[in-house]
Amino acid sequence: MLRTQFIRENREEVVRSLKIRNWTDDQLSLIDQVLSTDDSRKQSQTALDELLAGINSRSKQIGELYKSGKAEEANQLKTEVSEIKEKSQQLTDQMNQAIAHLEELLLQLPNIVHPTVPAGKGEEDNEVYKPCESNLDKPEGVDLAHWDLAEKYDILDMAAGAKIAGSGFPVFKGKGARLQRALISYLLDQVTDQGYLEIIPPLLVNEDTARATGQLPDKEGQMYHATADNLYLIPTAEVPITNLYRDVIVKDEDFPIKMTGYTPCFRREAGSYGADVKGLNRVHQFDKVEIVQITHPDKSYDTLNKMVSMVSGLLENLELPYRILRLCGGDVSFTSALTFDLEVFSLAQQRWLEVSSVSNFETFQTNRLKCRFKDENGKMRLAHSLNGSAFGLARVMAAILENNQSSDGIRIPKVLIPYTRFDIIN
RNA sequence: GGAAGAGUGGCAGAGCUGGUUGAAUGCACCGGUCUUGAAAACCGGCGUGCGUUAACGCGUACCGGGGGUUCGAAUCCCUCCUCUUCCGCCA
């Protein structure tokens, strides 16, 4: 969420950013609504504070008058106070209304995009930041999509998942399950070697938590909701892990805060359909290793680059052809200022699969989280937060299976063999 | 699930028979004196949000969350949450 003060002081910047996000002039009027609502909020508060000051000073006097036995004068003041109180009640209501309305408006404003975010309407306009260097032609013998390979080698059973839960809940079996576990262990080992602290968080979170990272209220329909206890199943480890720093004042020397965690992720994916959702391409439950950083504002873009190159390195180690996209204004998420997507090429499907999305949220999340630090002048400032996946494993799995198939079976990438303890699925 | 107790500033810990208590005291932290330096000692400072101001400052709100009683609440009442201990149940 943006701060009103920021919008007030950087109006041009906000407009520029919203235009990159393809906002129409009509929609831009939201900015003025925000500012005028904030004005009336301030007015109410100034008036209210004055009344409250009157009540406070009279109350003090009343106490003193009673002590010195002047009950009559005290009673006089009491009636004055009750009159003031009526007015103050009105103003309080007014102010609270303004605050609620302001909040509602602010929730509609997306993050400011970074100057390097290209204009564009959607996916097709994303900038290829780092193209893929490998040959992407379909090689001889790479014919089967992962759902066919799954059946052939009996390592993944979507139908079984559909029976016991519903469609989009994969069941991994045998070497498939083991490969999945190998990926988790390998990635966690690599990432923790880079100084990330490993976290195993709760998989269900409360409302406050979901709100702080922005899943509520905007994405309520995307989360599974356990209504009996009012808990939400996490759509990503980003939610519980980032919330570890909700309402925390970070010490300068604690930067950068680097955390990682493996969790299953649960997404309702309401409204998805078609070829996109086949096999592991889009599922309701998938495993993911997430990386999160909370940094000093001056360092966050440097950090973003480091995160992207670390994640790229992991794809290289897994011997997967990939490219990096810089998301355009039409595709960058509501909360992000700058996002790089890493896509892996599935040779059998002949299509790109997004396996990681690395973003800098600047202060957009930390504002809601109230995650701050004291700068060198002793001033409270919001920290920057970033996160990325390393990786969404369902799709990495899909690509490994497809790209490494041959008549002999599916070859396991070298770095994973110590974890799988087999080198081929056949 | 049942019973009892507790939740106060970075931490520890008073206040809780309602009225200079935004909150004692100690520790930690920052600045200074002293010292060759450090430690100790001494002096001073040390919460956050919002409003207002050119600024110093002033006002206001906050003692787990929400609501209530009262002229006035950290202090009384209601409710929710969390923690501790005891009992029950259980992987």
pLDDT for A275 beyond 80: no
Interatomic separation, CA of residue A410 and C1' of nucleotide B74, rounded (Å): 68
A92 and A235 co-located in one domain: no
**Are A95 and A48 within 8 A, CB to CB?**
yes
Interatomic separation, CA of residue A360 and C1' of nucleotide B57, rounded (Å): 39
pLDDT tens digits for A316-340? 999 999 999 999 999 999 999 999 9
A8 and A33 co-located in one domain: yes
CATH number at residue A99: 1.10.287
Backbone angles phi, psi at A29, to 5 degrees: -65, -15
Q: What residue is closest to B48 (Cα–C1')? A: A380
Give a yes or no: residue A115 inside a domain.
Answer: no
- Whether A50 sits with its Cβ under 7 A from any strand B atom: the answer reads yes
A81 and A169 co-located in one domain: no
pLDDT tens digits for A180-206? 999 999 999 999 999 999 999 999 999
Interatomic separation, CA of residue A52 and C1' of nucleotide B41, rounded (Å): 46
Interatomic separation, CA of residue A366 and C1' of nucleotide B55, rounded (Å): 30
Structure confidence at residue A51 as a pLDDT band (50, 70, 90) = very high
- Whether A8 sits with its Cβ under 7 A from any strand B atom: the answer reads no
CATH number at residue A190: 3.30.930.10
A155 and A92 co-located in one domain: no
Where among A106, A133, A163 does a domain terminate? A106
A195 and A287 co-located in one domain: yes
Q: What is the number of other CB atoms lying within 10 angstroms of the CB of residue A274?
A: 8
Interatomic separation, CA of residue A53 and C1' of nucleotide B42, rounded (Å): 40
Give a yes or no: residue A117 inside a domain.
Answer: no
Give a yes or no: residue A246 inside a domain.
Answer: yes
Q: What is the pTM for the complete model shown?
A: 0.91
Give a yes or no: residue A173 inside a domain.
Answer: yes
Name the nucleotide with the smallest C1'–CA separation from A55. Answer: B71
A246 and A333 co-located in one domain: yes
Where among A40, A72, A106 does a domain terminate? A106
Burial label for A107, CB within 10 Å (0-12, 13-18, 19+), is middle
Structure confidence at residue A221 as a pLDDT band (50, 70, 90) = confident
Tokens encoding A63: 């106490």
- Number of domains making up chain A: 2
Domain, as residue range, for A319 = 123-425
SS3 sequence, A387-418? EEEEEEHHHHHHHHHHHCEECCEEECCHHHHH
Distances (CA, A) of A246 to A65, A210, A211, A370: 46, 11, 11, 6
A83 and A139 co-located in one domain: no
Distances (CA, A) of A238 to A4, A43, A64, A210: 26, 38, 56, 10
Name the nucleotide with the smallest C1'–CA separation from A42. Answer: B51
Interatomic separation, CA of residue A41 and C1' of nucleotide B48, rounded (Å): 20
| pLDDT for residue A377 | 76
A273 and A380 co-located in one domain: yes
Q: What percent of chain A has pLDDT over 90?
A: 74
| pLDDT for residue A375 | 82
A101 and A127 co-located in one domain: no
Q: What ipTM did this prediction achieve?
A: 0.87
| pLDDT for residue A273 | 62
Give a yes or no: residue A112 inside a domain.
Answer: no
A175 and A31 co-located in one domain: no
A98 and A134 co-located in one domain: no
pLDDT for A386 beyond 90: yes
- Whether A82 sits with its Cβ under 7 A from any strand B atom: the answer reads yes
Residues 221-250 on chain A lying near strand B, CB distance under 7 A: 249
